[in-house]
Amino acid sequence: MGINLGNFLGSLENKSKMNDFQDLDHLDGISISSVSANLYDNGRDDLVMFYFRDGANHASVYTQSKIVSENIKWNINQKSKRVKSLLINTRNANAFTGKKGYLGLQKIALELATKLSEKQKEDEAKPQKISVKEILFGCTGTIGEEYPTEKIKNKISDLVEKIRYTQNKYIWIKAALGIITTDLKPKLAMEECEIGNTKVKIYGIAKGSGMIYPNMATTLGYLFTDADLSNEILKKLLKKNITTTFNAISCDGDTSTNDMVSIFSTGKIKHSNIKNINDEKLKDFDTALNKVLLNLAKRVVSDGEGASKFISINVKNCKKEDDAKKIAFSISNSPLVKTAIAGEDPNWGRVVMAVGKAGIKLDLENLSIKFGDFKIVEKGQLYEKYNELEVADYMKGKNIDITVFIETGTKSFTTYTMDFTKKYIEINADYRS
């Protein structure tokens, strides 16, 4: 299974590097297939399938937008505790497509269920008939365009024929490339950890570059583990760890109609039975899951449309965590802050503005601000030793840290964002062409 050159060369042109990726290898219980359904003009892969031949437990978080894609409606309507397949298409969001878009998914699901059932008869000693209720969808791309049902349906046979039961890093990269839109780089992450004394893996891929702002997840993210964890445990773990990872990023302040982050557990590694997320034997897995989610989330931000800077906003010592979060996102989402950073201008007044407009009660005399290690504001006043030339030099770096001290309590929150460049406007002006 080679890498589609249309995807790969496109990322190379944008200075993507192979050594950016962790070496994801085989994860038992999962098979991957990627093809082109010709949704783009250049023949790149745009259809990716994950096949769980024995089924997988699962949990997902979805966008909180009041306008959601038809695939999210489909996924929510499926009540099966175990799923057999996840099918992802790019180029078309299947959002604002109404009943026709939903029925399109139904047709594709029926075709996929039929072909996978036939595959079971060929490959398995005890074949299972796969139901449409055991199939989930991910869609991403342009909103409001007619869903290309027939194009996708006609490629299902090819997709199933190309299933590979053993993966390597190239197959994972191929899958990660197959789900991108305006992304410049595929996004992959992995961790190995233990449940009790048993080693397990967590792998993940994601896409996201624009329309990134959380109210659950903000992108497409898919995680896979060979651990044996129930749907309920997966749900609780995902909800817990999404807060400080995918729910802590913003590229442009816009929430998509299609946001979803899912985790799938194949159960192929047998370990201590876990009935509660507070079980001590689950701590290492919990930590590793957070690392994978944060790694992917940061990759989304660093690959933000037109981004030249990766920015961390740290708000510390607030009365409530929610206060810190509101202030952090007020700064992260400010076009004025983001353009100043793009221009490498240490315009700390814009940060002050963003802190004030968050609507959180402040004691101005206790407010302090730092850019990197450089103190800018101390106790509500410009720091007497402030040297703008030093800070201007710091702003030339690729990674910018802004820390705001509120001093009304002990709670903190960190968000991650990027700058606004002329390239951002160019990308979004030409998004559909």
Digit-coded pLDDT (tens) for 379-390: 999 999 999 999
Looking at the structure, tell me whether residues 235 and 182 fall in a common domain.
Answer: yes
Domain boundary among 249, 283, 302: 302
At residue 428 the predicted structure's pLDDT band, cuts being 50, 70 and 90, is confident
Q: Is the pLDDT of residue 306 over 60?
A: yes
Statement to judge: residues 190 and 104 lie in one domain: yes
* Same domain for 109 and 205: yes
Name the β-bridge partners of 368. 405
pLDDT of residue 321: 97
Tell me the average pLDDT of the chain.
Answer: 91
Q: What is the model's pLDDT at position 425?
A: 77
Sheet architecture: strand order including 381-382: 249-250, 411-418, 310-318, 399-405, 368-371, 374-378, 381-382
| Residue 415 near residue 313 (C-beta atoms within 8 A) | yes
Residue of 63, 218, 245, 408 marked catalytic = 218
- And the tokens for 199? 């080693």
Same domain for 236 and 322:
no
Domain CATH code at residue 352: 3.10.20.340
Greater pLDDT, 221 or 18: 221
**Same domain flag for 358 and 280:** no
Q: Is 182 a catalytic residue?
A: no
Neighbouring-strand partners of residue 403: 314, 370
Q: 179: pLDDT confidence band, cut at 50, 70 and 90?
A: very high
**pTM score, two decimals?**
0.90
Q: Decide if 213 contacts 233 (C-beta within 8 A).
A: no
Q: Are residues 258 and 397 in the same domain?
A: no
CATH of the domain at 201: 3.60.70.12
- Out of 178-187, 205-214, 285-294, which region has the weakest mean confidence (pLDDT)? 205-214
pLDDT of residue 90: 96
d(CA 143, CA 258): 9
Please state the rounded mean pLDDT for residues 388-397. 97
Number of folded domains that form the chain: 2
Tokens of 108: 């594709």
Same domain, 12 and 121: yes
Min mean pLDDT across 8-17, 57-66, 71-80 is at 8-17
Tokens of 54: 């024995």
The structure tokens listed for 114 are: 């039929």
Residues 356 and 296 in one domain: no
Among candidates 131, 146, 187, which has minimal Cα distance to 39? 146
**CB distance 245 to 294 below 8 Å:** yes
Check whether residue 236 and residue 273 sit in a common domain. Answer: yes
For 365, counting Cβ atoms within 10 Å of its Cβ (0-12 exposed, 13-18 middle, 19+ buried), the class is exposed
pLDDT higher than threshold 70 for residue 20: no
Query: Distance between CA atoms of 135 and 108, rounded to whole angstroms?
Result: 10
User: Is residue 296 domain-shared with residue 356, that is, in the same domain?
Assistant: no
Using H for helix, E for strand and C for coil, what is the string for 23-79?
CCCCCCCCEEEEECCCCCCCCCCCEEEEEEEEEEEEEEEECCCCCCCHHHHHHHHCC
Domain residue limits at 317: 310-429
- Residue 269 CA, distance from chain mean position: 26
Pair (242, 372) in one structural domain: no
